[in-house]
């Protein structure tokens, strides 16, 4: 699921109706959804299957927020699957623990679960709109100019891995939803 529709993007950018910009806008919408998901995790609900290993009493899923667990089975043939009803999932952090408090053993595990959001927070939609505007305004570089300033789109510090492609205001909107760091 993209954060914006093609019609929404045209409206945000005040583009004329018609298909002149459709291909370019579609790429922008897909790219901004990928960029925002890199910071906040999946936007729409999707099935994730991953191999996870646990130490002690907690196993941490990589895709957060996690909505629900589907299956939990050992990778090693002959091991016993764990009933997901016997597990506790902290969806925000992706931490999975046993309700009986026992430590994990017998892994690694193949975990199938639903990750994403049941609703998209408004600030993530606003971040997507601002990012689209920023990219559209800067798509032809300095030659295009930006009459009237552009303070809302200032990028004072590069974002690791993205350089100056993400404005400060977008990063501020994403911050409350940032994925927790992954510890190996």
- Mean pLDDT, the chain, rounded, equals 86
Do 35 and 85 lie in a common domain? Answer: no
Whole-model pTM over 0.85: no
Do 56 and 85 lie in a common domain? Answer: yes
Q: Is 182 among the domain residues?
A: no
Kindly give the interhelix angle for 22-40 and 122-138, rounded to the nearest 10 degrees. 130
Q: Is 184 among the domain residues?
A: no
pLDDT at 138 over 90: no
88 forms beta bridges with: 97
Do 29 and 50 lie in a common domain? Answer: no
Where residue 148 falls among pLDDT bands split at 50, 70, 90?
A: very low
Contact between residue 28 and residue 9 where contact means Cβ atoms under 8 Å apart? yes
What percent of the chain lies above the pLDDT cut of 70? 86
- Which phi and psi angles does 114 have, rounded to 5°? -100, 125
**Domain count across the chain:** 2
């Amino acid at each position: 699921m993209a954060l914006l529709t093609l019609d929404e993007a045209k409206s945000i950018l005040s583009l004329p109706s018609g298909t002149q910009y459709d291909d370019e806008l579609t790429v922008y919408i897909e790219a901004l959804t990928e960029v925002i998901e890199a910071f906040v995790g999946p936007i729409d609900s999707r099935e994730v299957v991953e191999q996870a290993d646990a130490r002690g009493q907690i196993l941490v899923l990589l895709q957060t927020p996690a909505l629900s667990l589907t299956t939990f089975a050992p990778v090693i043939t002959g091991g016993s699957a764990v009933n997901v009803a016997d597990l506790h999932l902290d969806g925000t952090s992706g931490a999975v623990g046993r309700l009986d408090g026992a430590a994990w053993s017998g892994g690694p595990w193949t975990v199938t679960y639903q990750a994403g959001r049941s609703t998209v927070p408004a600030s993530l939609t606003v971040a997507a709109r601002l990012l689209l505007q920023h990219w559209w305004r800067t798509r032809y570089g300095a030659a295009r100019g930006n009459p009237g300033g552009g303070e809302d789109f200032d990028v004072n510090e590069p974002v690791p891995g993205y350089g100056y492609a993400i404005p400060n205001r977008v990063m501020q909107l994403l911050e409350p939803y940032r994925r927790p760091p992954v510890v190996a």
